[in-house]
Structure 1
Amino acid sequence: MSNRPRTRTVLSCGLLLVPLAVSATACGGSSSEPLSAKPYDAADQISANTPDGKQKADPDKPLEVTVKGDEARITDVTATDASGRYISGELSADGRRWRTTVPLAAGTRYTVRVSTEDEDGAPGRKTLVVETTDADDRLSVKFGPDSGDYGVGQPVTAELSKPVNDPKARAVIESALKVDSAPRVEGSWHWVDGKSLHFRPKDYWPAHATIAVHSNLDGLKITKKLYGGPAKPVRLTTGDRIEAITDAGSHQMTVLRNGKEVNTIPVTTGKPGYDTRNGVKVILGKESFVRMTSASIGASDFYDLPVYWATRVTWSGEYVHAAPWSVGSQGAANVSHGCTGMSTGNAEWFFNMVRVGDIVKVVNSDGESMTAFDNGFGDWNMPWKEWRDGSALKNKASTTTGAAEQQRGTADAARLRPQV
């Protein structure tokens, strides 16, 4: 018979820890335990399959905590990593054993807090510190764009350090890449290829939204030998909803702010053979001066022009820019080599009005449709169902929770050629 105080506590009804990165609470507890009942040190009663402080645990094997002898039982266990994230586990019905139910993360330090009760009802406590071995092969992630202010059309990108094609591995990765927004929106990741993912809402981002992007992949097991690596989080904000709608048929650009028209500008777009692409484009950058030459796009008619107030919408060189040489045609005819030209004053106004991530939409052109991924951000031209089908989690609900490299990396010279 134990000499410890015979104070009876209420047993926990069994431990059910929620998945990684979500807080956990036992559904019972020892709330009836008198404040004077100080827990005893249960070190002599508890053992683990990884000796505390003596060796590192294999992340491929579950962590198991057991109670020795017949004089005590486990009532509660919590296991958290250094950032406070919980790992799931289950307690046996007889209270003799607790074990993790999901793989441990590689290269991670866990604090495991064990609560016990002896045969007389006295509460015991034991804290274990468990470190797991690191992984030889890590998958890192780079989010884009850089933190900052953007337009409502800006997609989020994730660039992986190596290609992943296995559907199950993709599901693990995608589940760990988190996009939180305020206000909350419906959105989804889409796998562009084995190394690149884009995230967009069903519709454009709300005006004046905050978007936080982070990864829970670090240390997470992806395949038998591949584990997740680190990722730098990014935080984006959106401004007003700015949309520029260029009608190539009427030779007019209508600029909307939050759905209301603020300007109508006479323009010229691509002439036959150089027709401007139809569809939704996202502003990629702004350059107050660009030199544009016919050689850059292989045009048969020679030109070498200094161009001012140039707002880029494709990697292949489509801009909205000042074109003082074509003022006589603006509002009446399409005479450019694919860009949208306007007067110098209107181009400067437009340049100062918009930001990276704002929307430029072209309609009624004889040109081809803007592609989704290979010439800038044409993401919004893909129907939502098709976009969702590109997710490894397409059968799950797609929303951000409340709260890859920017613009697909460094393009080669051929994709950076400007055109007028």
Structure 2
Amino acid sequence: MNNTPTCDYCTDPPSYEGFYKSYLLPNRPVIIGPKLIASWPAVKHWVRCSSPSTDGKINWDYLSQNYGDCDVTVADCGTREFSDQKRSTMHFRDVVALWTAVAGENLYVKDWHLTRYLAASGSNGESFYSTPDIFRDDWMNAYYSACTEDDFRFVYVGAAGTFTPLHRDVYTSYSWSTNVCGRKRWWLFPPEQTRYLFRKGGEAHAETAFDVRDVDEREFPDIKRATPIVVEQKDGETIFVPSGWYHQVENLTACISINHNWCNSVNLPSLYDSMCAKVTEVEHALEDVKELLSQNSAGSDGWMREWVQIVQDVVEKDAGWNWTTFWKMVLYALKCTCNEFSSTPQLSMKPHPGASELLWRPAPPHLTPPHHFILDRVKKCYQSFVCREHGEVESIEGLKDVLQAVAERLPETNAAPLS
């Protein structure tokens, strides 16, 4: 029996039910053909001279004219900085000017929140594209769009040869990525191969290889045991990267893509486990701080609350989330599932300035798993969390109220009482 991982290709966009059963539940990658995004305005405006048989060319004039004032994060793919690439901020038109002058060959515009920029400027936030139905059940972007000034929707623009180093998306979230124009090569490593990607002597949170095309096998002796899926993504194609899959991406041509990180009830247990692991990692790194707090406590256990808050602050700074964010996102998703939002979300989830529920339309029931499935996934995470011995429920301000609101929406949680 051949157990080598593969990546399917769907010429026609799958139905939600087909996507759910064939890719979400089994956590398998897939590439979907250009029909999925044929109606996007970006396909018309961002590309020139495109045809079904030849690669289109990026319409730099249109992009520079319409989005040139944007400040964008630019990675220098020729300069490594710790576990990432050196980054700076530039006006988008200045980056385009370098590319059109056949310069800036190492520059890669990453994590560009163009949707947010357009919304803030009074434009329709999704005027250049729309999220495909199979990806609409997105708890991260629903919560972040309505309750914060951030989101996980990005535009990436890079010259040929630019790349994103080996990584796993935040807290094992899913991602989908569409090449509006250009071609990419992907290296996809299924979760069971994760252990092969770390430096020798490493554990689950140690340093991974930076560039799978150039690995020192003396430092990463198990890398040769990894057998990634290597695929080429062409113009107009969309790739689904499953939860917890490490991956690396190289632009084979000048390329512009639209990317989302996202999650929902299907991979919620994986996100929860990843959060637990992140907290443990930070706790181990701060053991000296914990010991100092304990020694200065004069016999009182009040220092534990301060310790938990320090850990949560570091977790948030390092990975962008902490437990409060996680459970507020879950609560928001449950309220959407129960169609409760006839008014402004309450319970410390009031929109920030610049946030807007209009930036994300929650998925209707026919584009989500069954209601009982959603509640069961949340319930298991809830029961595990309230039984944790880290003191987080009592120590994190406001968290007990959020958890209580989650519990009220779950059938017979049978969990430890929060009072």
Q: TM-score over 0.5 for the alignment?
A: no
Relative to total residues, which structure has the larger helix share, 1 or 2? 2
| Larger RCO (CA under 8 A, 6+ residues apart) | 2
Larger Rg: 1
